[in-house]
Amino acid sequence: MDSVDSTNTEAKKLLIQGEEEGIIVTAGRQTAGRGRKDRTWLSPVGGLYFSLIIYPRLEVESAPLLGLLGACAVARCLSELGVEDVSLKWPNDVLVKQRKIAGILSETVFLGSDTLGTVVGIGVNQNCSVSEMPNGLQWPTTSIIDEVGKATSIESLLCSIVNRIDELLQSVEEKMSFSSVLDEWRELSSTIGSKVRVHEDGKTIDGIAKNIDSNGALVVQTEDGFVSVLQGDVSHLRVED
Ligand code: BTN
- pLDDT for residue 239 is more than 70: no
- Shared-domain flag, residues 168 and 211: no
Within-domain flag for 65: yes
pLDDT value, residue 58:
82
| Cα three-residue angle 21-103-184, rounded to 5 degrees | 75
Please write the tens of the pLDDT for every residue from 65-120: 999 999 999 999 999 999 999 999 999 999 999 999 999 999 999 988 888 999 99
- Shared-domain flag, residues 179 and 206: no
Distance 71 CA to ligand 1 centre (A): 12
Please write the tens of the pLDDT for every residue from 142-182: 999 999 999 999 999 999 999 999 999 999 999 999 999 99
- Model pTM? 0.95
- Shared-domain flag, residues 111 and 229: no
Within-domain flag for 119: yes
Within-domain flag for 56: yes
- Shared-domain flag, residues 103 and 204: no
Cα separation, 192 vs 182, in Å, equals 12
Would the CB of 35 count as within 6 Å of ligand 1? yes
- Shared-domain flag, residues 79 and 58: yes
Distance 50 CA to ligand 1 centre (A): 8
Strands (E), the chain: 3-4, 24-27, 29-30, 48-54, 86-89, 93-96, 99-111, 114-124, 195-200, 203-212, 218-222, 225-229, 233-237
- Shared-domain flag, residues 232 and 180: no
Domain tally, the chain: 2
Which domain does 75 fall in, by range?
3-188
Would the CB of 7 count as within 6 Å of ligand 1? yes
Q: Which CATH number goes with the domain that contains 165?
A: 3.30.930.10
Within-domain flag for 241: no
- Shared-domain flag, residues 164 and 224: no
pLDDT value, residue 23:
95
Within-domain flag for 12: yes
Q: Which CATH number goes with the domain that contains 229?
A: 2.30.30.100
